[in-house]
Amino acid sequence: MDLEALDAMQKPASRRRGERTRTIPEQIADHVSNAIVNGEYRGGERIREQELATLYGVSRGPVREAIRTLQERGLVNFFPRRGAYVVEITLDTIVEVFNVRAVLMGLAARDLARRKDTEFLADLRTGIVEAQVLARARTTPPQHFARAIARLGGMVAARCSNKHLSRLLRDQLEHTLWGIIWRTRPLDFLTPQRQAAAVREWQKLGAAIAAADDSAAEMLLRRIFFNARDAAIKTLQKARREKISAIGIIRD
Amino acid sequence: MDLEALDAMQKPASRRRGERTRTIPEQIADHVSNAIVNGEYRGGERIREQELATLYGVSRGPVREAIRTLQERGLVNFFPRRGAYVVEITLDTIVEVFNVRAVLMGLAARDLARRKDTEFLADLRTGIVEAQVLARARTTPPQHFARAIARLGGMVAARCSNKHLSRLLRDQLEHTLWGIIWRTRPLDFLTPQRQAAAVREWQKLGAAIAAADDSAAEMLLRRIFFNARDAAIKTLQKARREKISAIGIIRD
DNA sequence: GCATTGTCAATTGTCAACAATTGTACAAAT
DNA sequence: ATTTGTACAATTGTTGACAATTGACAATGC
């Protein structure tokens, strides 16, 4: 793979305006992040600099910078002179990340409820309706529904007024452990019943935000994540029982 | 400054056992982080690679890796081919960071309240008493009291069972914006009254954790941070009114 | 005066080579 | 059989050099 191909992969449509050019180390970091998140590496697997360098057709310099980024994102454990190793993720870790994500998203919801952002509310309702349509059409694959729900979460994260929080939810979690965990959701726990329940939860949240009930909004969004957490864990435990390797990076 | 001096600065006592050796890029990243946090850079100031390289007596390679770390920590804005610039911090940013910190610490408190960790509770009470002693002795400088309170927060962050949360509170906030903001606290708002109030707040929190009342613990620790936030903001606004440059990195 | 273009020093981005360390295979000794 | 010692290949850490880009400033044209 050369850099042109990598670059094209990273920005499907020509680069959105206002977006600054992405450096090679950033492209490599994001690409490897995605690879890790997609389970293309095993937990504990070593990452060799020269390997990535030849893979992307660059020297080791940019690769080293990319690895620093991965280290800071918590996707690899780095040992001086001994290399970088892909993190191993246990069920406990997943619960931890869900809990952190839940309270942060709760803060975002509280923020959005406090200020009457009618434009956001309209977009949120549109998104909820989209999810509802997908949930009612039983033929759509659960991945589509999962994506719709993910968009709702992304909306809350991006549109809250706390820019520091937005950044944290995006950079520190989107491309990191949260990305990995997200991949575990659409396995098979999104039953039609669960989908309908999820839609109801988001509708309640929309109502709370519309009513400017910040405490209720916070608790509702938390509850949404706790439910997702429990469902994901149940799915993974089931996969473990049935000896199904859920996803490369997660320790069986 | 050469690397030996820098290294000695970083680990006052010979390196604690079990702690892996720190690479040069890590040392540089931490050192520059501290410099930024201490206000030795102005907000918006450019960081030049060669400058840091000669300062630390290394080549630009390790410096570039360190800058990547700073970028990921959110301490510098990075523009390709145009360099890294120290972030500018406004009062709004400070409020945002306090709010994020508050809910994350709230989760940690909830966690600690749920599991009866008697050892932690004992340490917490010891720390609270220490703060109380400092608060009662009116002659001690407010910095000492601030440090004691910071230790309490650090204890909560480090001892909660959620290791992902601990990491987030340590890496992503300790060495970053939170560090900057913390420096603004001991300016002059820690009046004896405020100190006594802070001790009472922590005592209440200790009681809630001892009673395993997780919701109360969460809300109390949040409240602690909200009070600190309001006091810090008030101080900074006052400094601005009086044309006192509060701290280098914060925009006046 | 204002905008545009050309030039250039300063700075960043990348590379290839070299130095230093680590884990490992293998032999020798207990 | 287990442990100790030792060379060696693989890999990481660092460097200095070179290429590419930027921003500033001067020259030019309107």
Q: CA–CA separation, B183 vs B178, rounded Å?
A: 9
When scoring A22, A30, A65, A97 by the number of chain B Cβ atoms within 10 A, the one with the most, hence best to mutate, is A65
Residue pLDDT, tens place only, B112-158: 999 989 999 999 999 999 999 999 987 777 778 888 998 999 999 99
Indicate whether A98 pLDDT > 60: yes
β-partners of residue B47 are: B84
Residue pLDDT, tens place only, A173-202: 665 656 666 666 545 667 888 889 999 999
Whole-number distance in Å between B47 CA and C7 C1':
26
Contacts of B94 (CB under 8 A, 6+ apart): B181, B184, B229, B232, B233, B236, B250
Largest interatomic CA distance in chain A: 56
Q: Quote the tokens at residue A26.
A: 């950033």
Indicate whether B181 pLDDT > 80: no
- DSSP 8-state class, residue A170: I
For residues A3-13, average pLDDT: 45
**With bands split at pLDDT 50, 70 and 90, how would you rate the model's confidence at B11?**
very low
Q: CA–CA separation, A105 vs A12, rounded Å?
A: 28
pTM of the model: 0.85
When scoring A73, A96, A101, A222 by the number of chain B Cβ atoms within 10 A, the one with the most, hence best to mutate, is A96
Contact B242, B104 (CB under 8 A): no
pLDDT at A246: 54
The CA radius of gyration of chain B, in Å to the nearest whole number, is 19
Q: How far apart are the first and last CA of chain B?
A: 31
Residues in chain A with CB shorter than 8 Å from the CB of B73 are 72
Q: Quote the tokens at residue A133.
A: 């349509």
**Three-state DSSP class for B140?**
coil
Is B164 in contact with A80 (Cβ distance < 8 A)? Answer: no
**With bands split at pLDDT 50, 70 and 90, how would you rate the model's confidence at B177?**
low
Is A100 in contact with B164 (Cβ distance < 8 A)? Answer: yes
For residues B42-67, average pLDDT: 95
- Of the listed ranges A114-128, A139-153, B46-60, B69-83, the least confidently predicted one is A139-153
Give the H/E segment covering residue A78.
strand A76-79
